[in-house]
């Protein structure tokens, strides 16, 4: 009877631990690419956009993407490419210029995906100064 109880506890423990969104196989990943357009450069001049994913700083974009506004996961000039484990994530992107402030949203990573997030300066929420 003790062996049966231990087996049930072990199964229960494994079931609860498998529910974490980032507890998938580490090889089950996808990519997310953040980019902004030349309008940001025109409106702001030199700028930095800090990308924060699930409250953790993930990198900075310092240049506008100008080639047809459609980067891909192999052509990443002037973008920020991040590889993540399968799951759902929240992001905030903060720009450090003028009256512009931030973008926010969510995205989902699926296996071998390439999610594109365009940070259009027209959709940037103004700073609360």
pLDDT band at 4, cuts 50/70/90? low
Domain extent at residue 60: 24-126
**Torsion angles phi and psi, residue 25, rounded to 5:** -55, 130
In a domain, 5, yes or no: no
Count of domains for the chain: 1
Q: In what order do the strands lie in the sheet with 29-36?
A: 80-85, 29-36, 114-119
The CATH number assigned to the domain holding 29 equals 2.60.40
By the 8 A CB rule, do 100 and 36 touch?
A: no
pLDDT per residue over 20-49, tens digit each?
444 445 679 999 999 988 777 777 777 889
User: Would you say the pTM of this structure is higher than 0.95?
Assistant: no
The span from the CA of 13 to the CA of 11, in Å, is: 5
The span from the CA of 94 to the CA of 57, in Å, is: 11
In a domain, 13, yes or no: no
């Amino acid at each position: 009877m003790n062996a049966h109880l231990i087996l049930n506890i072990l199964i229960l423990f494994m079931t609860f631990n498998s529910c974490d969104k980032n507890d998938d196989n580490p090889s089950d990943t996808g990519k997310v690419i953040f980019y902004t357009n030349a309008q940001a450069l025109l409106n702001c001049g030199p700028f930095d956009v800090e990308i924060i994913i699930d409250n953790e700083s993930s990198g900075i974009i310092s240049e506008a993407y100008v080639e047809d506004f459609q980067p891909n996961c192999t052509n990443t000039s002037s973008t920020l490419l991040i590889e993540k484990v399968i799951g759902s994530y929240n992001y905030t992107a903060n720009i450090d210029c003028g009256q512009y402030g931030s973008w926010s949203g969510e995205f989902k990573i699926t296996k071998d995906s390439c999610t594109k997030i365009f940070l259009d300066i027209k959709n940037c929420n103004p700073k609360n100064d």
